[in-house]
Amino acid sequence: MSELVKRYTASVFFDKRLWQADIQGSLAHAEMLAAQGIIAAQDLADIQRGMAQITQEIESGAFEWQLDLEDVHLNIEARLTQLVGDAGKRLHTGRSRNDQVATDVRLWLRSEMDLIIELLVDLQKSLVDVAEQNVEVILPGFTHLQVAQPVSFAHHLLAYVEMFARDAERMSDVRRRTNRLPLGSAALAGTTYPLDRERVARTLGMVDAEGHAQVCQNSLDGVSDRDFAIEFTAAASLCMMHISRMSEELILWMSQNFGFVKIADRFTTGSSIMPQKKNPDVPELARGKTGRVFGHLMGLLTLMKGQPLAYNKDNQEDKEPLFDTVDTLKDTLRIFSEMIGGQVNAATGLKEGGITVNPDAMETAVKKGYATATDLADYLVKKGLPFRDAHETVAHAVKAATRQQCDLSELPLAVLQGFHASIEKDVFEVLSLRGSLNARDTLGGTAPTQVKLQIARHRARLA
């Protein structure tokens, strides 16, 4: 092999990050081989001793990763054999790198997903914390980015909590399908040794909720499909899509034209030429990195498409996109939790430095857009008008208010009555922002009573 081909085919410089999963899988395999009488008890003891030393060498940085040994699996196995001799050479009995790598990636991804689910919980908690402080704060709810109806800022934040809750749920679903054991499929067809695959699955925690071993039931499928990785990347893409929507809103809200919120300086940067600038770099980068994760999803789908059964070396290319997706998602979730909810001050134990809200700017903005026009229409409906007629009547009122450059609530009662005789003094409560908010008192609505119920539900769920 030329140096170029060696470098081209090797994966050790990226797949070495699977080392813990690789050793974990090997130990479970060896233990089963010994229990089945395929290797001797002494071999198992030697393998365990060797792996303990390798673990320590890798952790301390002393381990010498070699390009010549191609990948993480051969590097570890070669060192094991150096350390313990023949027992090391027996480890690979009834196993192939094909089922080994599929197992390693699943084990690694499983633990990363557990971390991601925790990070999603943290982010939801940060959002709920901020929501709790802002139940009564009103901002314009938009459709088509045009002022639509007044909404509680807490309600707006809780919309994201719903999204991240579904993202966590999706991760748990993917975890369930990832948590199945390929080992024992060998190269592609199974093996001639009397393996106990279910035992290995149990050792590795590949069990369902009832504790039943989860084993890939077809060897060709077990070694070759990477649908779990694709599914994970799809779930990660959806999560990044949600992050990206939130980023876009933060960027808009931070602009001088909105001025709704501020994020702490440590998440922004200045400009090299314009001294007044404070740019929302973190949300912008998150929005950008979302594209990169979508790209990995497309990359993995394309990698898998058209591969004949069973294992093909193409699959070595699953790792970098997967690793980068995990890294990007984890960093993004961490940074967003902190940017929104702040950081715990070690001295006080309290969180500080999260997002700051400017309720006055929100209120000014919501007053600009006739956000309570629907409330006036609903008011007329309650007086007996059919909704379509009420809609038209209010359109006339909005036109009049626009001409006078004032809000509906600023039109004198006599003028309002000119649009419909049934309008009375109580209309002004209906036209107020707070009245509008309080009126949306159905499940999932923005009324503060509803929002508080949701906050309590989330608190209980996330505890």
Task: Check the CA dihedral 160-166-170-176 and report its sign.
Answer: positive
Surface-to-core class of residue 445, CB atoms within 10 Å of its CB (0-12 exposed, 13-18 middle, 19+ buried): middle
172, 255, 271, 396: the active-site residue: 271
Question: Are 189 and 138 spatial neighbours (Cβ–Cβ below 8 Å)?
Answer: no
Asked if residue 313 binds ligand ARG (CB under 6 A), the reply is yes
Cis peptide before 40 (omega within 30 of 0): no
Asked if residue 26 binds ligand ARG (CB under 6 A), the reply is no
Nearer CB in complex with ligand ARG: 316/393: 316
Distance CA 455, CA 445 (A): 13
Q: Which part of the chain contacts ligand ARG (CB under 6 A), choosing from 87-95, 310-318, 320-328, 354-362?
A: 310-318
# chain residues binding ligand ARG, by CB under 6 A = 10
Q: Which part of the chain contacts ligand ARG (CB under 6 A), choosing from 83-91, 93-101, 142-150, 163-171?
A: 93-101
Asked if residue 75 binds ligand ARG (CB under 6 A), the reply is no
Task: Enumerate residues 6+ apart whose C-beta is below 8 A from 306.
Answer: none
Q: How far is the CB of 114 from ligand ARG (least distance, A)?
A: 23
Distance CA 14, CA 317 (A): 10
Asked if residue 71 binds ligand ARG (CB under 6 A), the reply is yes
Nearer CB in complex with ligand ARG: 94/354: 94
CA distances from 26 to 48, 110, 392 (A): 9, 17, 73
Q: How far is the CB of 313 from ligand ARG (least distance, A)?
A: 6
Q: Which part of the chain contacts ligand ARG (CB under 6 A), choosing from 95-103, 196-204, 298-306, 406-414?
A: 95-103
Asked if residue 11 binds ligand ARG (CB under 6 A), the reply is yes
Nearer CB in complex with ligand ARG: 77/338: 77
For the question of residue 144 being annotated catalytic, the response is: yes
- Measured from the Cβ of residue 334, the count of other Cβ atoms closer than 10 Å reads 14
Question: Are 99 and 182 spatial neighbours (Cβ–Cβ below 8 Å)?
Answer: yes
For the question of residue 237 being annotated catalytic, the response is: no
Q: Which part of the chain contacts ligand ARG (CB under 6 A), choosing from 37-45, 307-315, 333-341, 442-450?
A: 307-315
Q: Which of 97, 175, 226, 458 binds ligand ARG (CB under 6 A)?
A: 97
Nearer CB in complex with ligand ARG: 149/315: 315
Asked if residue 425 binds ligand ARG (CB under 6 A), the reply is no
Distance CA 39, CA 305 (A): 39
Task: Enumerate residues 6+ apart whose C-beta is below 8 A from 460.
Answer: none
Nearest one of 194, 9, 5 to 97, comparing CA atoms:
9
2, 60, 144, 272: the active-site residue: 144
Distance CA 282, CA 239 (A): 16
Asked if residue 103 binds ligand ARG (CB under 6 A), the reply is no
Question: Are 27 and 95 spatial neighbours (Cβ–Cβ below 8 Å)?
Answer: no
Asked if residue 316 binds ligand ARG (CB under 6 A), the reply is yes
Please tell me what DSSP assigns to residue 349: -
Nearer CB in complex with ligand ARG: 124/316: 316
Q: Which of 315, 332, 393, 446 binds ligand ARG (CB under 6 A)?
A: 315
Asked if residue 152 binds ligand ARG (CB under 6 A), the reply is no
Surface-to-core class of residue 405, CB atoms within 10 Å of its CB (0-12 exposed, 13-18 middle, 19+ buried): exposed
What residue ranges bind ligand ARG (CB under 6 A)?
A: 11, 15, 71, 97-98, 101, 311, 313, 315-316
Residues with catalytic annotation? 144, 271
